[in-house]
Structure 1
């Protein structure tokens, strides 16, 4: 009977250690990640506003694998209409726009190059 109880506790203990260590590692990386996301979102919002005259709200992001590129895919929508989806792929080192997807009907401002 003691052998069975010991076997049941071991996976739980290992699972608990795994959860705690992932939380600690995630907390360290999250500050740098938050700074990257914040600057990329500001850059992307300003880019869209300047080039297309549209204000956007970003709702989610996903980093590209770091061995492929230093970029961040950001999803959002045009302010005032959540159905008008926006996607922008931003290179965060240095900041530049790699790809932009805007809703149909949104055109570049005439004074933008």
Structure 2
């Protein structure tokens, strides 16, 4: 429950298919979500009723369907070829963390 987490937490961990895919600052969940990093976190934020209720097609893979690469590969609009077969590590960006190859060189590479 994002709303409850935002009431008590400074940072919010977002999970997808059993993996932490982003740890974002509470403040990142505001405006149009431009400070959120992972495409799933952005989609999740935009799916909230207060943010337009924009739904993303598809569903999380079931336990036996999780791909060898990035678990969000099939739904990602910013994927790289390597994402299909290689799972990104959780990248430490200081107060934030994200599991996405786009940010390997740091946060400035993702803007």
Global fold match (TM > 0.5): no
Taking structure 2 as the reference length, the TM-score comes to 0.25
With a CA cutoff of 8 Å and minimum separation of 6, indicate the structure with the bigger relative contact order. 2
Q: Which has the higher strand share?
A: 1
Larger Rg: 1
Taking structure 1 as the reference length, the TM-score comes to 0.24
